[in-house]
Amino acid sequence: MRDILIIFWILGAISPASAQNIKLDIDISQAERLLEITCSNIEIDPGEWSDSEPLQAQLAHHREFAERFSFENYIIGLNHISRCETPSSDPFRFSALVKKRTEMRNAITFLSQNREQLTARVIELLQPYVPEGYAFEGKVVLAGASFSCGGFQNKGIFFVDIPCLAADIEGEYEAITRLIAHETYHAMQNDFAYLQSPGLSKVKSLAASYDFMFERLALEGSASHIGDMREIKGSARYSNFSRSLARRNYRHLDYNFRLFDYMIEAINRSPADIGKRFPEIYGLAFDGSFGEHSYFVGQQMTAEIEHSFGASAIPCLFKLPFENYVLAYDFALQDGKNLKKSAQFSAETIKIANDRGKTRTSEPGFRSCITSK
């Protein structure tokens, strides 16, 4: 999702337990090593970094955007900061370690000192939304050099960008907490969700297109519900951005529902070339360049499903094909006791969700996850 900050390392998955067993840790070792190197005249050993799994995952992600995010350029940056220099070409923003060294150290120290409180709050946010008996162990690794104030994960690793947050780390604290909860839930979804959609570039049919759109509504919407940014405290850069984005989308949430309906209609308009057109349609609904408006549609859906059927319905629905998430939401609206911002999908969107469900005769439906109304 979105501009963010952190390397997030998945260390475990599901194991038998009578109740949820969620463990998170914050690892500051990589960020501290970068601070140790800065202005030290230490000779850089490329082998130390070539063996780093988090760094290799970071580089693999960055290279999807440009070839300049190479291991060689990372080592060049390390050599520069060792000499207390800022690289002339600085794709990884090593300059923050030289020019804002005190801020960087203070940010790392603050997060280290508050790690138990922070992870306890994240776990509290997550626990209602995972299956009974689910166990998870993860690690948050603070990244001292990254190319943008943005969030991503690759190969089970999620990145938190300290240079972006360092100016007012205390003012970013609650936003960081919600962000970690959001991204941790995505990692958990990989364990227990019904994930059968191909990658975005491999969507070539109407059925795959609808499945992908419904899947993203559920995955991103539920994570956004857990990591709700609308009422976070703090006036720092990332906090302001995240709160403003969430509030703006909620001001025109009814319109966001209509936009999602229009994207569903656009999929059906020209089936023959859907493989070529689908990435653009998907982007209009979910891409950050357009405000991620369908994240917030999914967030409201999750809130309404929980309102009607309880939080345990969320992980239950995740075990089913994702048209069931849409159908469960539509069913929740029928009692008339709805949350203020909940809006109806169009008849066409609901029909498509029903039709997708009818193709899966061996799968249980959404009613298997909800209490009777």
Are the CB atoms for 1 and 295 separated by under 8 Å? yes
**282 and 334 inside one domain:** yes
In a domain, residue 259? The reply is yes
Task: Output phi, psi for 205, to 5 deg.
Answer: -135, 165
User: Residues 226-282: pLDDT tens digits?
Assistant: 999 999 999 999 999 999 999 999 999 999 999 999 999 999 888 889 999 999 999
User: Residues 30-41: pLDDT tens digits?
Assistant: 899 999 999 999
HSE (CB half, 13 Å, CA atoms) of 146? 33
Instruction: Name the pLDDT band for 20 (thresholds 50, 70, 90).
Output: low
Structure tokens at 239: 């906090």
Instruction: Of 227, 220, 187, 195, give the one whose Cα is nearest residue 10.
Output: 187
Per-residue model confidence (pLDDT) at position 150 = 56
**213 and 355 inside one domain:** yes
Specify which residues 75 forms β-bridges with: none
> Which residue range is the domain that position 318 belongs to?
200-369
**245 and 180 inside one domain:** no
In a domain, residue 174? The reply is yes
Give the integer Cα–Cα distance in Å for 62 and 64: 5
Domains: count for the chain? 2
- Of 192, 226, 254, the one marking the end of a domain is 192
Per-residue model confidence (pLDDT) at position 15 = 38
Give the integer Cα–Cα distance in Å for 353 and 323: 5
What's CA 9's distance to the chain center, in Å? 14
In a domain, residue 2? The reply is no
| Angular region, 39: left φ>0, alpha ψ -120 to 50, beta rest | left
In a domain, residue 124? The reply is yes
Task: With both helix axes pointing from N to C terminus, report the angle between 237-251 and 253-269 in degrees, rounded to the nearest 10.
Answer: 80
Please give the share of the chain, as a percent, with pLDDT higher than 70: 92
Instruction: Name the pLDDT band for 213 (thresholds 50, 70, 90).
Output: very high
Q: Helices H, strands E: what count in the chain?
A: 17, 5
Distance set, CA 154 to CA 3, 63, 232 (Å): 15, 12, 27
Q: Which single residue is written with the structure tokens 């599901």?
A: 14
**173 and 28 inside one domain:** yes
- Of 192, 227, 245, the one marking the end of a domain is 192
**215 and 322 inside one domain:** yes
In a domain, residue 1? The reply is no
**58 and 160 inside one domain:** yes
Specify which residues 158 forms β-bridges with: 153
In a domain, residue 68? The reply is yes
Task: With both helix axes pointing from N to C terminus, report the angle between 237-251 and 173-192 in degrees, rounded to the nearest 10.
Answer: 60
**124 and 142 inside one domain:** yes
Mean pLDDT for the chain overall: 90
Q: Highest-confidence range of 7-16, 18-27, 64-73, by mean pLDDT?
A: 64-73
User: Residues 122-139: pLDDT tens digits?
Assistant: 999 999 999 999 999 888
Distance set, CA 221 to CA 15, 25, 89, 349 (Å): 26, 25, 38, 17
**213 and 303 inside one domain:** yes
- Of 170, 192, 214, the one marking the end of a domain is 192
**166 and 20 inside one domain:** yes
Cα dihedral sign for 51, 53, 58, 59?
positive
**77 and 207 inside one domain:** no
Task: Output phi, psi for 125, to 5 deg.
Answer: -70, -35
**188 and 204 inside one domain:** no
User: Residues 150-186: pLDDT tens digits?
Assistant: 556 666 677 788 988 999 999 999 999 999 999 899 9
Q: Is the pLDDT of residue 352 over 80?
A: yes
Per-residue model confidence (pLDDT) at position 156 = 61
**152 and 44 inside one domain:** yes
In a domain, residue 349? The reply is yes
Give the integer Cα–Cα distance in Å for 102 and 96: 10
Give the integer Cα–Cα distance in Å for 16 and 28: 30
In a domain, residue 15? The reply is yes
